[in-house]
Chain A
Amino acid sequence: MEHRADEMMTVAAARELRDGEVCFVGIGLPSTAANLARGMHAPAVVLIYESGTIGSKPTRLPLSIGDGDLAETADSVVSVPEIFNYWLQGGRIDVGFLGAAQIDRHGNLNSTVIGAYDEPKVRLPGAGGAPEIAAQARRVITIIRQSPRSFVGELDFKSSLGARDQVVITDLGVLRKGSDPAADPLRSAAPGGSDPRGELVLEALHPGVVLEQAREATGWDLKVADDLRTTDPPTERELALLRELRER
C-alpha cells in the first residue's frame, strides 16, 4: 500500500512504544501514534492524559486532551495537581510522548515562541505539561517534522530540556540520543532525567529518503550512526488502522 511521509512518521513513533508501558501522552500526533500502538502491538499500554485521565482507551482520536471519551474510558480520573504531582513527579511514568515546534541537537524543545520572546514573530501556545514530562518520564519520544525551520542550531526558546533517554521520530527518519554509553557517563545512573549534553544520532532513514535530504533538513552538522538502517515500511495493518482511526 502507498503511504505518505507523515503516515510513516506516525507508524514509526507508534512502534517505539512497548506493550504495558505507562505513557503520558500529548495531544495531536503523539496521541494518534499512542492509540495506533494500542491497537497494534501494545494493547496493554496505559495512556495518561494531562487532564487527569489514567488508562484512557478512547474509541476515536480526541481533539483535545480533555475530550469526554478520555474520562469515560479511563480506569481513574484525578485532578490536575494530582496527575502532575503524584503520577508524573511521583516517578510512575515510563514514557513521555511529546511534539514541539523546534528541536536542537541535544533534544531540547521549543514550544513557546519563534523570534525574540518580547518581540515574537510567532507566539506559540507555550510549554504546557512538556517541561516536567520531559524531565520526569523515564524516557521521551518526540515526534516532529524535520526541516531547517524545526531542526535548528539554536532554539529561539528552551521550553523543555532534552531527556537522557530520548528518541526523535520525524517524517525522514529516526534519531536517538545517548546511544553511546562511553560518550555519556550519566547513562549508568538511574533512568530518566534531563541531559542537555548528549547528542541526537540519526540511526534510520525511512524508505525512499536519502541521507542528503536529512542533512539538508537539519540546522546542525548531523551525526549519523555507522550502521544507518532503513525503517521497515508501514504494514498493511498499520496503515489500515491508522486511516481508520483518523476517520472515526
Chain B
Amino acid sequence: MAEITSLHDAVASLVRDGDTVALEGFTHLIPFAAGHEIVRQGRRELELVRMTPDLIYDQLIGMGCARRLVFSWGGNPGVGSLHRLRDAVENRWPAPLELEEHSHAGMANRYAAGAANVPFAILRGYTGTDLEPRTDVAKVTCPFTGEQLTAVPAMRPDVGIVHAQRADRAGNVQLWGIVGIQKEVVLASRRSLATVEEVVDELEPRPGAIVIPGWAVTAVAEAPRGAHPSYAHGYYDRDNDFYRAWDPIARDRDGFRDWMREHVLWSTAPTR
C-alpha cells in the first residue's frame, strides 16, 4: 500500500543522486511541485526522462540537476524554445547534457514495454530518419509475417513521478482528463510517487477517470496546485500566461537563477 507522506520526505527517500527519474504528465498534470522539491534537495547527475521536457525540465537542467536527458519533444508548447535546455546543449551551461531522443510513439511504447515487463516494444517507426542511427532502436523481423519492424527498449526508470487530482487514504490514485502516460510510467518504474491535489476519504467515481491502485504506488504526497503552471482538470486551468512569461525569464542565465531562488529555493514544500 502506498505510504502517504510529505512531499519533502517522499523525494528524500525515493530520489537519489544518479537515478533515472521520469516526471511525466502529457501537458496536463505535470508534477511541478515534485520537480521543485528535487531542485531544493539538490539532487545531481540525474538521468531525466520525459516525453515533453516542458518548463519543469528546463528548470531542473538550468539548476544543474541533470547529466542526461531522454525525451521526444523539448519545447515550450505554443511559445518556442526551452532556453535552459538549449543553453545546456549548445553551450554546455551549467553542465554538459547528454541527449537521447526518440519520437513520441517510440517513447510511449518504451514506457508501455516497461509497464508490461517485456524487454522491448515494436512499432512501425524511425525507418529512414536520422533519428534511427542516432538513438537506441533496432530492427526486428516479425516471426509470423516476416515484416521488418522497429524495436525500442523498455523504459524502466528508478523513480516515476506523476501528479493526479486526488487519492484516498489507502493511496489509491485517481486522475481524469488527459491521462497521458501516467499509468504506464508508474507501472514501469521501480519506485513511484504520485503527488495529488488532495487526499480524500472516498474517491467518487468520475467519467473517464482511471484509478491506479495504492498497492502499485510507492508513495503519495499531497501537493495542492502541484501541477501549476500546468493544470489539474477540474481544479485549475493551464496557466498559459505563465508559459508565455517563462520565455524571457529563461533566456537570461542570471534572470533564471534569480527567479528560481525567489520562487523555488526560498519557498518550501507542503509539510503535510
- Name the B residues within 8 Å of A28 (CB-CB): 78
Q: Which of B51, B105, B111, B238 contacts A64 (CB 8 A)?
A: B238
Is A127 in contact with B73, judged by CB distance below 8 angstroms? yes
- Name the B residues within 8 Å of A160 (CB-CB): 129
Q: Tell me, in angstroms, the Cα distance from A126 to B129 when the chains sit together.
A: 12
Q: List 13 A-B contacts (CB under 8 A).
A: A51-B180, A66-B28, A66-B178, A68-B237, A77-B179, A79-B181, A123-B86, A126-B74, A129-B103, A130-B103, A135-B125, A157-B130, A160-B129
Binds B, one of A80-88, A141-149, A201-209, A226-234: A80-88
Q: Tell me, in angstroms, the Cα distance from A70 to B78 when the chains sit together.
A: 15
Is A112 an interface residue when CB atoms closer than 8 A count as contact? yes
Q: Which of A62, A77, A80, A161 contacts B208 (CB 8 A)?
A: A77
Is A150 an interface residue when CB atoms closer than 8 A count as contact? no
Is B77 in contact with A64, judged by CB distance below 8 angstroms? yes
- Name the B residues within 8 Å of A53 (CB-CB): 178
Q: Which of A84, A120, A126 contacts B108 (CB 8 A)?
A: A84
Q: Tell me, in angstroms, the Cα distance from A127 to B90 when the chains sit together.
A: 18
Is A63 in contact with B112, judged by CB distance below 8 angstroms? no
Hey, what's the 0/1 contact readout for B9-51 against A, CB within 8 Å counting as 1?
0000000000000000011100000000000000000000001
CB contact under 8 A between A159 and B129, given known A52-B26, A63-B77: yes
Shortest C-beta distance, A179 to chain B (Å), equals 22
Is B89 an interface residue when CB atoms closer than 8 A count as contact? yes
Is B81 in contact with A117, judged by CB distance below 8 angstroms? no
Is A241 an interface residue when CB atoms closer than 8 A count as contact? no
Is A20 an interface residue when CB atoms closer than 8 A count as contact? no
CB contact under 8 A between A85 and B123, given known A66-B28, A68-B238, A159-B130: yes
Is A15 an interface residue when CB atoms closer than 8 A count as contact? no
Q: Tell me, in angstroms, the Cα distance from A85 to B208 when the chains sit together.
A: 20
CB contact under 8 A between A81 and B233, given known A51-B27, A88-B105: no
- Name the B residues within 8 Å of A67 (CB-CB): 27, 238, 240
Shortest C-beta distance, B174 to chain A (Å), equals 15
Shortest C-beta distance, A79 to chain B (Å), equals 5
- Name the B residues within 8 Å of A79 (CB-CB): 179-181, 183-184
- Name the B residues within 8 Å of A27 (CB-CB): 77-78
Shortest C-beta distance, A118 to chain B (Å), equals 9
Q: Which DSSP category, helix, strand, loop or mixed, fits chain B's interface?
A: loop
Q: Which of B73, B77, B105 contacts A85 (CB 8 A)?
A: B105
Is B103 in contact with A161, judged by CB distance below 8 angstroms? no
- Chain A: interface residue count, which band? 35 or more
The 7 closest A-B pairs by CB, nearest first: A66-B27, A125-B75, A128-B73, A64-B77, A63-B78, A84-B105, A81-B108
Shortest C-beta distance, A243 to chain B (Å), equals 18
Is A84 in contact with B129, judged by CB distance below 8 angstroms? no
CB contact under 8 A between A68 and B231, given known A77-B177, A131-B103: yes
Which residues from chain B sit less than 8 Å from chain A, CB to CB?
A: 26-28, 51-52, 71-75, 77-79, 81-82, 85-86, 89-90, 101-105, 108-109, 111-112, 123-131, 134, 177-181, 183-184, 208, 231, 233, 237-238, 240, 243
Interface residues of A in 54-78 (CB under 8 A from B): 62-68, 70-71, 77-78
Shortest C-beta distance, B104 to chain A (Å), equals 4
Is A184 an interface residue when CB atoms closer than 8 A count as contact? no
Q: Which of B51, B79, B81, B177 contacts A63 (CB 8 A)?
A: B79
Interface residues of A in 72-131 (CB under 8 A from B): 77-81, 84-85, 88-89, 112, 117, 120-131
- Name the A residues within 8 Å of B129 (CB-CB): 127, 131, 158-161
Is A16 an interface residue when CB atoms closer than 8 A count as contact? no
Q: Tell me, in angstroms, the Cα distance from A7 to B200 when the chains sit together.
A: 49
Q: Tell me, in angstroms, the Cα distance from A161 to B237 when the chains sit together.
A: 36
Is A132 an interface residue when CB atoms closer than 8 A count as contact? yes
Q: Tell me, in angstroms, the Cα distance from A51 to B126 when the chains sit together.
A: 20
